[in-house]
Structure 1
Amino acid sequence: MTFTSDTEIERIARGLIDRTLPKAEWTHAGHFAAALWLVSADFDAAQRDMPGMIRAYNESVGGINSDTEGYHETITQASLRAARHMTDSAAPGTPLHLVLRDLMAGEFGKSDWLLTYWSKPVLFSVEARRSWVEPDLQPLPF
C-alpha cells in the first residue's frame, strides 16, 4: 500500500483507534502509518496507548490476543521507536506520507527487519510478546 497524503495516514490511525479500519488495510505499512501518526503527536502517549489500541482492534476484527498470536509488545515498541527515529531524522515539516515512503523504502520497510536485532526464538517468545525484551543479536540503531 502506497500513501500519497497525510490524510490517508490519519485515516489509518483513526481507523485503528475507533476500530473501523478494514482488516485488509492493517498491513506492515498500515502499522507504520498509524505509528508515525501517533508518534508525531506524542511519543510517550503512543508508547502508552498503542498497545491497547492494537489489542482492541485485533478483537474487533475477530482476532485474539494470546501467547501465540495477536498483540506483540516487543514488536510494537520497537516499531514505535523506529517510527520516532524516522520522524526525528526527517527535515522539519516533512509530510508524514513522505516519512512513511522513506521508512518503507529502507530497512524498516522489510517485514523481517526485527530479525537483524532479535533471534527468532527470543523475538517470538511468550516473554517478548507480553513485555519489552531487549535485542539479543545487536542493539537497535537508535
Structure 2
Amino acid sequence: MTDEEMDRLVAGFLDCTLPKEEWTHSAHFAGALWLMLRRPHVQPERDMPGMIRRYNESVGGVNSDSSGYHETITQASLHMARRLLATLPADVTPAAAHAALMASPLGDKDWLFTYWTRDVLMASAARRAWVAPDLRALPA
C-alpha cells in the first residue's frame, strides 16, 4: 500500500465514504498508523472507538454485543501498532510502517489468539470494554 493509497483509505474512513468491503484487517492498521503518524492531535486510543462506531453505522453496521466495534481488539491493536512504530525510524512514512506491520505477526488477522482464547476475546464483555489477555500478557 502506498502513502497515497493510505491517504485515500483514511479519508474514506474518516468521512464515512470508504466501501465496507475495503475496511479490512489491513485497513484497520493502516488507519491507526496513519493517524499516529499524520495527526498528532488525535489520540487513537481515545478517538478511534468513536470513529470506528460512526463508520460502522454509516455502512449499515450495528455496534452491539455481537457485532461491530470491539474495544479489546481495538485497544490491543493500537498498543501493538505503537510498539512496532517505536522500533522504526522517526521519519518513517505511513506506507513503510504499514508494510513493516503487515510483514510482522500482526499481519495475520489471528494474531490476537496468541494472547486471548477465542471464548474470552469473542465474549460480549471484551467487545464492550477492555478485557486483559488470558493466555499471556501483551508485550510492554
Q: With structure 1 as the length reference, what TM-score do the two structures score?
A: 0.92
* Separation (CA, whole Å) in 2 of partners of 1:43 and 1:29: 23
Say yes or no: does 1:20 pair with 2:17. Answer: yes
* Separation (CA, whole Å) in 1 of partners of 2:128 and 2:62: 14
Worse-superposed segment, 64-73 or 83-92: 83-92
- How does 1:40-59 map onto structure 2 within 5 Å? 40=37, 41-42=39-40, 45-59=43-57
The verdict on how the C-alpha distance between 1:85 and 1:43 changes in structure 2, with shifts beyond 3 A counting, is farther
Report SS of the residue matched to 1:89.
coil
Say yes or no: does 1:81 pair with 2:79. Answer: yes
Name the structure 2 match of 1:37: 34
| Uncovered stretches (5+) of structure 1, i.e. residues with no partner | none
* Separation (CA, whole Å) in 2 of partners of 1:138 and 1:55: 28
Report SS of the residue matched to 1:122.
helix
| Uncovered stretches (5+) of structure 2, i.e. residues with no partner | none
- How does 1:112-127 map onto structure 2 within 5 Å? 112-127=110-125
Note the alpha carbon deviations across 1:46-76, whole angstroms, 9 max, x for none: 1111001111111111111110011000001
Name the structure 1 match of 2:127: 129
Note the alpha carbon deviations across 1:18-58, whole angstroms, 9 max, x for none: 10111121011100000101122338711111001111111
Coordinate RMSD, CA, aligned:
1.4
Say yes or no: does 1:101 pair with 2:68. Answer: no
Counterpart contact for 2:10–2:34, Cα < 8 Å: yes
Counterpart contact for 1:67–1:126, Cα < 8 Å: yes
* Separation (CA, whole Å) in 1 of partners of 2:87 and 2:96: 12
Note the alpha carbon deviations across 1:101-126, whole angstroms, 9 max, x for none: 11111110001000000111110111
Identity of aligned residues (%): 53
Counterpart contact for 1:9–1:97, Cα < 8 Å: yes
* Separation (CA, whole Å) in 1 of partners of 2:138 and 2:48: 20
Number of aligned residue pairs: give it. Answer: 139
Letter in 2 for 1:32: F
